[in-house]
Amino acid sequence: MGAEKMTVREVRPYREEDVPAMTDIWNAVVETGAAFPQTDPMTVDEARVFFAEQSHTAVVTVAGRVAGLYILHPNNVGRCGHVANASYAVASGLRGHGLGRQLVEDSLRQAGKLGFRGLQFNAVVASNERARALYESLGFAYIGTIPGGFRNKDDEYEDMRIYYREVV
């Protein structure tokens, strides 16, 4: 997609017809083994159920095509259910154009609408410098590190970082 088309973008709740493209983007991140905890890709049918089970699932489109997505859900249950958690994925060829920022900003708005008081990231891989820089630029506080908390695709252990931000 050319730069002129990158300006025609929208973040919206996902639709049934988006699921195959969402699955491809999600699975591409899973298969890199560098960011998501899952080890196996999902089928479209598994993804359909997974995305529907979330508190909110949204996509970002560029020129009408799905370019990324996020899922939003409680970080925990019961007395901790007022804090959300989210995961984000942007198509590899479209990273670096602000789509991730749009997804995170929208997830914060949606979290507020759903009654969450905060958004917590439990497992930001330390080597994922782009994500860390994005979260910090949006006011997320770095809470701490879990040494060796993430096992990457090469079976090497990397540190995980925890981030938190109140939902305004």
- DSSP class per residue in 59-98: EEEETTEEEEEEEEEESSSGGGTTEEEEEEEE-GGGTTSS
Q: In the chain, how many domains are there?
A: 1
Q: So what's the pLDDT on residue 4?
A: 45
Q: What is the CATH number of the domain that holds 83?
A: 3.40.630.30
User: In the prediction, which pLDDT does 1 show?
Assistant: 47
CB 105 within 8 A of CB 124: no
Q: Give residue-wise pLDDT tens across range 32-79.
A: 999 999 999 999 999 999 999 999 999 999 999 999 999 999 999 999
**pLDDT band for position 6 (cuts 50, 70, 90):** low
pLDDT digits (tens, 9 = 90+) for 91-101: 999 999 999 99
Beta strands 56-62 and 65-74, pairing class: antiparallel
- pTM given for the model: 0.93
CA distances from 84 to 40, 55, 109, 116, 154 (A): 24, 9, 12, 6, 30
DSSP 77: S
- Predicted confidence band at 8 (pLDDT cuts at 50, 70, 90)? confident
What digits encode the pLDDT tens for the residues 118-163? Answer: 999 999 999 999 999 999 999 999 999 999 999 999 999 999 999 9
Residues of the domain holding 95: 3-166
